[in-house]
């Protein structure tokens, strides 16, 4: 078991009969993920890539219980689908959907919290524990098993940095994309806490970007950690007051700039990289420095 | 999507929050007529979606309907912080005894709505909070349960004025019902007779929720679905999948040259979207090269490559370099190379940036830089 998921984790795919749901189900199965069910209302009885499809979460959980559900559903139904999964006993929701309203994300996070469950996302690439399971959309080819925990606000940047770590012989215990929306179901500080407590993780990489206060909060926790942490922040050339792609990435009123985040992280003893390509070398250095 | 003050005040009025008597005008004659109906002494407020409108001269006092007409004429042809108002709001002047601040915003890190209250309204709340944090009350609200009157009364108990708790509850109902990310009354004016009146209204609706907000849907149309483009003032065009990757690539370009734009495709790449993205980027003046940096995770990059090839076939006039990795990358490379795109097969974005700058004659060290030489 890495953080949150392991080789034995049983997974349900909500929205499995859609174009993206089908394709990603195939990729996840190829990566060894134990997908036990799929759910699409009105499509019960079908099979997708050999996975039985049920009409509701309750039916799916009755027939083939899962601990985790990954959602490939349209934004308009994401909140209802997530709530249905929580009501059916799912402990971890991985919400890949882009464009989920922020009020829906807030309510879903609160509902998950109230039942002791957890939400990752929205707009998350998901989680991969290389060599064990992949509950997400990240290409498995970029990742290798190993001792580095990777937390990223950006999906594609986690692929790049993960691949560079792998190429440098630094595999990953788990890679988690938090999603870059204004409200993330599980924040960076909380994921850092999980990696800090994980026996298989020897160092953690944080990949942040401008906007919000995730990195500052993570820095406060990092200050108390004994494991080394390396961070990269994207957007140092981003002009203030402009949304860089999604509502979460904006430097507003002088808050949330890359410089502020780097300062907070460095003050907490985190090693910072100026470019994505420097991360692997710095991880190697902090791991050597420890032994 | 930010609403105009007059739209925010419509919401307030419907929810039972009192607003000053007044109406919007699109021409000086209309402004003068509204002022006459209000008894002559009015405030004329430019309806622009920028902050600091008052400091920029966008709010004027008029003593007569004629003066209101003149001020409206002036405001309607001026630019307030770069924005030209299409309308002015003409309102009765308020005799204000005290001013409060009431705001509700999404606290992203906490994942909950945050209520912010202060007995010192009328100024920027950030400044009050920085100078005298004890003058500002902050509290989170459970997004599922919402805000009831009992909790609202607790929160406003230090403010000592009747009616503030009700106003706060009504503001919260607007915030929740309209999928707002910000709802603010600054100031909430207390009149000498004790009435509470919202003198200003700032409401911002979540763009992602417009599909379930029919009232505001039309205003949000015209926004390109899926991809985000921000024009900058440089010479290197950029097409990236993912905002973080796009910003990281921009940062790398900015070390030696200037990015012409930020473009993030989102997770819905198709042949058509990629062709549109390329045309948008290539349409910028003064371009010396285009860098494509994309990953195939949820995105079918082999389909996107067909869109790029379609645009390349029409002739582009500047070098185009691509790094495209992930699912079906080999297929993608073959399509791009046939179309005349230089494909960088390495992992690091640094190497793709160096290759493009070299082709564009902008490489660090005078243009003879070798790709991957950094």
Buried b (16+ CB within 10 A) or exposed e, A1-15: bbbbbeeebebbbbb
Q: Which of B227, B113, B217, B111 is closest to B175 using CA atoms?
A: B113
User: What percent of chain B clears pLDDT 90, i.e. is strictly above it?
Assistant: 77
> Does A267 share its domain with A184?
yes
Please answer yes or no on whether A154 and B244 come within 8 Å at the CB atom: yes
Query: What would you measure as the largest C-alpha separation in chain B, in angstroms?
Result: 78
Please answer yes or no on whether B347 and A163 come within 8 Å at the CB atom: yes
| The pLDDT of residue A227 is above 70 | yes
Q: What is the Cα–Cα distance from A49 to B151, expressed in whole angstroms? A: 51
Contact B302, B339 (CB under 8 A): no
* Both structure tokens of B374: 């950094």
> Does A158 share its domain with A103?
no
| The pLDDT of residue B367 is above 80 | no
Write down the catalytic residue from A34, A134, A246, A261: A246
Q: Which residues of B touch A15 (CB under 8 A)?
A: none
Phi first, then psi: give them for residue B112, nearest 5 degrees: -140, 160
| The pLDDT of residue B373 is above 50 | no
**Residue owning tokens 């940095």:** A161
Find the closest chain A residue to B257 by CA distance. Answer: A237
| The pLDDT of residue B369 is above 90 | no
User: What percent of chain B clears pLDDT 70, i.e. is strictly above it?
Assistant: 95
Residues comprising chain B, all counted: 374
Q: Which of B105, B4, B1, B103 is closest to B53 using CA atoms?
A: B4
What is the CB-side half-sphere exposure of residue B291 using CA atoms within 13 A?
A: 34
Contact A5, A191 (CB under 8 A): no
Q: Which residues of A touch B211 (CB under 8 A)?
A: 75-76
**Pick among 2.120.10.30, 3.30.1490.20, 3.90.1560.10, 3.40.50.261: CATH of B21-92:** 3.30.1490.20
Please answer yes or no on whether B348 and A160 come within 8 Å at the CB atom: yes
Mean pLDDT of B144-169: 91
Mean pLDDT of A63-88: 97
Number of structural domains found in chain A: 2
Q: How far is A242 from chain B (nearest CA, A)?
A: 8
The pLDDT value given to residue B374: 36
| The pLDDT of residue B225 is above 70 | no
> Does A178 share its domain with A271?
yes
Q: Select from A21, A71, A99, A245 the residue whose CB has the most chain B CBs within 10 Å, as the one to mutate to test that interface.
A: A245
| The pLDDT of residue B364 is above 80 | no
Q: Which CATH number is A172's domain given?
A: 3.40.50.261
Contact B125, B118 (CB under 8 A): yes
Q: Is the omega angle on the peptide bond into residue B137 within 30 degrees of 0, that is, cis? A: no
Q: How far is B318 from chain A (nearest CA, A)?
A: 24
Please answer yes or no on whether B143 and A106 come within 8 Å at the CB atom: yes
Q: Which residues of A touch B108 (CB under 8 A)?
A: 182-184, 212-214, 248
Confidence band for A65, pLDDT divided at 50, 70 and 90: very high
Active-site positions of B read: 101, 184
Mean pLDDT of A42-51: 96
Please answer yes or no on whether B179 and A237 come within 8 Å at the CB atom: no
Q: Which parts of B181-300 fold into alpha helices (H)?
A: 214-220, 243-254, 271-282
Q: Which residue among B143, B242, B298 places its CB closest to the CB of A103?
A: B143
> Does A252 share its domain with A149?
yes
Q: Quote the domain boundaries for residue A169.
A: 138-290
Grouping H, G, I as helix, E, B as strand and the rest as coil, residue B319 is: coil
Question: Which tens digit of pLDDT belongs to each residue from B58-114?
Answer: 999 999 999 999 999 999 999 888 888 999 999 999 999 999 999 999 988 889 999
ipTM of the complex: 0.90
Kindly list the domain boundaries of chain B, sorted by start residue: 21-92, 98-220, 228-359
Instruction: Work out the burial of residue B148: count CB atoms within 10 Å of its CB; fewer than 13 is exposed, 13-18 middle, 19 or more buried.
Output: exposed
Last residue of a domain, one of A69, A92, A120: A120
Please answer yes or no on whether B144 and A107 come within 8 Å at the CB atom: yes
Question: Which tens digit of pLDDT belongs to each residue from A143-182?
Answer: 999 999 999 999 999 999 999 999 999 999 999 999 888 8
Q: What is the Cα–Cα distance from A89 to A180, expressed in whole angstroms? A: 26
* Least confident range of A234-243, B150-159, B293-302: A234-243
To the query of whether residue A103 is one of the catalytic residues in this protein, the response is: no
Q: Which residue among B112, B143, B247 places its CB closest to the CB of A234?
A: B247
Q: What is the Cα–Cα distance from A272 to A229, expressed in whole angstroms? A: 9
How many angstroms separate the Cα of B155 from the Cα of each of A129, B106, B115, B116? 45, 17, 9, 9
The pLDDT value given to residue B219: 75
Q: What is the Cα–Cα distance from A2 to A16, expressed in whole angstroms? A: 25
The pLDDT value given to residue B132: 83
Find the closest chain A residue to B351 by CA distance. Answer: A277
**Would you list the DSSP string of B60-87?**
EEESSHHHHHHHHHHHHTS-BTTB--S-
Contact B220, B123 (CB under 8 A): no
Question: Which tens digit of pLDDT belongs to each residue from B29-70?
Answer: 999 999 999 998 999 999 998 777 888 899 999 999 999 999
Q: Which residues of A touch B244 (CB under 8 A)?
A: 152-157, 180, 207, 209, 234-235, 249
Number of C-beta neighbours around residue A291 at 10 A: 5
| The pLDDT of residue B187 is above 70 | yes
**For B135-183, what is the HEC assignment?**
HEEEEECCCCCCCCHHHHHHHHHHHCCCCHHHHHHHHHHHHHHCCEEEE
Q: What is the Cα–Cα distance from B229 to A243, expressed in whole angstroms? A: 10
For helices A75-87 and A102-114, angle between their N-to-C axes, nearest 10 degrees: 10
> Does A18 share its domain with A151?
no
Q: Which of A116, A193, A186 is closest to B108 using CA atoms?
A: A186
| The pLDDT of residue B289 is above 60 | yes
Any domain includes A126: no
**Residue owning tokens 């890190």:** B109
The pLDDT value given to residue A239: 84
The pLDDT value given to residue A242: 73
> Does A67 share its domain with A39?
yes
The pLDDT value given to residue B372: 39
Q: What is the Cα–Cα distance from A254 to A22, expressed in whole angstroms? A: 43
Domains B98-220 and B228-359 share a fold: no
Q: Which CATH number is A28's domain given?
A: 3.40.50.720
Q: What is the Cα–Cα distance from B86 to B89, expressed in whole angstroms? A: 10
The pLDDT value given to residue B212: 94
> Does A172 share its domain with A143?
yes
Instruction: Give residues with Cβ within 8 angstroms of A206, minimum separation 6.
Output: A151, A152, A188, A192, A215, A218, A222, A229, A230, A231, A232, A265, A270
Q: Which residue among B113, B126, B264 places its CB closest to the CB of A106?
A: B113
Any domain includes A246: yes
Grouping H, G, I as helix, E, B as strand and the rest as coil, residue B18 is: coil
The residue that leads in pLDDT, B222 or B201, is B201
Question: Which tens digit of pLDDT belongs to each residue from A135-153?
Answer: 999 999 999 999 999 999 9
* CATH 3.30.70.3040 is the classification of domain B98-220: no
Q: Select from B208, B213, B373 the residue whose CB has the most chain A CBs within 10 Å, as the one to mutate to test that interface.
A: B208
| The pLDDT of residue A128 is above 60 | yes
Strand partners of residue B92: B42
> Does A88 share its domain with A178?
no
Find the closest chain A residue to B294 by CA distance. Answer: A156
**Residue owning tokens 């020897």:** A202
> Does A114 share its domain with A184?
no
> Does A202 share its domain with A148?
yes
Number of C-beta neighbours around residue A264 at 10 A: 20
> Does A169 share its domain with A84?
no
Q: What is the Cα–Cα distance from B247 to A208, expressed in whole angstroms? A: 11
The pLDDT value given to residue B223: 53
**Residue owning tokens 């060290």:** B365
Q: Which residue among A103, A110, A237 places its CB closest to the CB of B206?
A: A103
Instruction: Give residues with Cβ within 8 angstroms of B65, minimum separation 6.
Output: B32, B33, B35, B36, B40
Ramachandran sector of residue B341 (left: φ over 0; alpha: ψ -120 to 50; beta: rest): beta
Confidence band for B365, pLDDT divided at 50, 70 and 90: very low
Q: What is the Cα–Cα distance from A121 to A102, expressed in whole angstroms? A: 11
Any domain includes A145: yes
Please answer yes or no on whether A155 and B144 come within 8 Å at the CB atom: no
Mean pLDDT of chain A: 94
Confidence band for A203, pLDDT divided at 50, 70 and 90: very high
> Does A89 share its domain with A32?
yes
Mean pLDDT of chain B: 91
Any domain includes A184: yes
Please answer yes or no on whether A160 and B349 come within 8 Å at the CB atom: yes
Q: Which residues of A touch B106 (CB under 8 A)?
A: 102, 106, 182-183
Q: Which parts of B157-285 fold into alpha helices (H)?
A: 164-177, 214-220, 243-254, 271-282
Question: Which tens digit of pLDDT belongs to each residue from B316-356?
Answer: 999 999 999 999 999 999 999 999 999 999 999 999 999 99
Fold of domain B228-359: Rossmann fold (3.40.50)
């Amino acid at each position: 078991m890495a953080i949150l998921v392991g080789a034995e984790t049983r997974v349900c795919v909500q929205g499995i009969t859609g174009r993206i749901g089908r394709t990603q189900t195939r990729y996840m199965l190829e990566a060894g993920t134990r997908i036990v069910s799929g759910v699409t209302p009105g499509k019960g009885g079908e099979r997708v890539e050999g996975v039985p499809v049920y009409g509701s979460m309750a039916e799916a959980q009755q027939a083939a219980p899962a601990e985790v559900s990954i959602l490939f559903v349209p934004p308009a139904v994401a909140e209802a689908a997530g709530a249905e999964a929580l009501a059916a006993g799912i402990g971890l929701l991985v919400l890949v959907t882009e464009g989920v309203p922020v009020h829906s994300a807030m309510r879903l996070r609160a509902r998950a919290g109230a039942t002791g469950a957890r939400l990752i996302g929205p707009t998350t690439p998901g989680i991969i524990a290389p060599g064990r399971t992949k509950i997400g959309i990240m290409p498995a080819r970029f990742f290798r098993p190993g001792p580095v925990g990777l937390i990223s606000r950006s999906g594609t940047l986690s692929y790049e940095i993960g691949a560079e770590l792998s190429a440098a012989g630094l595999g990953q215990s788990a890679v988690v994309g938090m999603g870059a929306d204004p409200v993330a179901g599980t924040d960076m500080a909380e994921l850092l806490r999980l990696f800090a407590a994980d026996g298989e993780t020897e160092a953690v990489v944080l990949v942040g970007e401008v906007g919000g206060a995730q990195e500052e909060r993570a820095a406060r926790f990092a200050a108390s950690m004994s494991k080394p942490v390396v961070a990269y922040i994207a957007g140092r050339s981003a002009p203030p007051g402009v949304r860089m792609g999604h509502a979460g990435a904006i430097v507003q009123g002088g808050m949330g700039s890359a410089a502020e985040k780097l300062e907070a992280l460095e003050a907490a003893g985190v090693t910072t990289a100026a470019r994505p390509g420097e991360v692997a070398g710095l991880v190697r250095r902090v791991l050597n420095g420890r032994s | 999507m930010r609403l105009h003050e007059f739209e925010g005040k419509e919401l307030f009025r419907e929810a039972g929050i009192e607003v000053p008597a007044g109406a919007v005008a699109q021409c000086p004659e209309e402004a003068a007529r509204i002022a006459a109906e209000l008894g002559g002494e009015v405030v004329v407020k430019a309806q622009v979606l920028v902050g600091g409108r008052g400091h920029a001269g966008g709010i004027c006092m008029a003593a007569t309907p004629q003066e209101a007409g003149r001020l409206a004429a002036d405001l309607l042809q001026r630019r307030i912080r770069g924005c030209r108002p299409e309308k002015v709001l003409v309102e009765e002047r308020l005799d204000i005894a005290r001013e409060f601040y009431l705001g509700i915003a999404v606290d992203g890190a906490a994942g909950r709505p945050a209520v912010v209250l202060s007995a010192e309204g009328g100024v920027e709340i950030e400044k009050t909070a920085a100078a005298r944090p004890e003058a500002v009350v902050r509290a989170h609200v459970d997004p599922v349960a919402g805000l009831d009157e009992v909790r609202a009364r607790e929160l406003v108990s230090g403010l000592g004025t009747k009616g503030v708790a009700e106003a706060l509850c009504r503001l919260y109902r607007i915030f929740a019902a309209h999928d707002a990310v910000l709802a603010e009354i600054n100031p909430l004016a207390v009149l000498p007779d004790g009435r509470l009146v919202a003198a200003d209204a700032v409401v911002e609706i979540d763009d992602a929720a417009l599909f379930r907000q029919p009232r505001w849907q039309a205003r949000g149309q015209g926004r390109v679905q899926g991809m985000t483009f921000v024009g900058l003032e440089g010479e290197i065009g950029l097409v990236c999948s993912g905002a973080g990757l796009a910003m990281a690539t921009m940062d790398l370009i900015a070390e030696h040259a200037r990015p012409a734009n930020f473009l993030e495709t989102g997770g819905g790449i198709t042949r058509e979207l990629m062709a549109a993205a390329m045309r948008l980027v290539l349409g910028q003046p003064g371009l010396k090269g285009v860098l494509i940096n994309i990953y195939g995770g949820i995105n079918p990059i082999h389909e996107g490559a067909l869109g790029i090839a379609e645009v390349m076939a029409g002739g582009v006039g500047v070098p185009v370099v691509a790094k495209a990795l992930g699912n079906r990358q080999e297929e993608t490379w073959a399509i791009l190379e046939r179309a005349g795109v230089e494909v960088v097969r390495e992992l690091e974005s640094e190497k793709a940036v160096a290759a493009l700058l070299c082709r564009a004659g902008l490489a660090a060290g005078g243009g003879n830089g070798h790709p991957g030489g950094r």
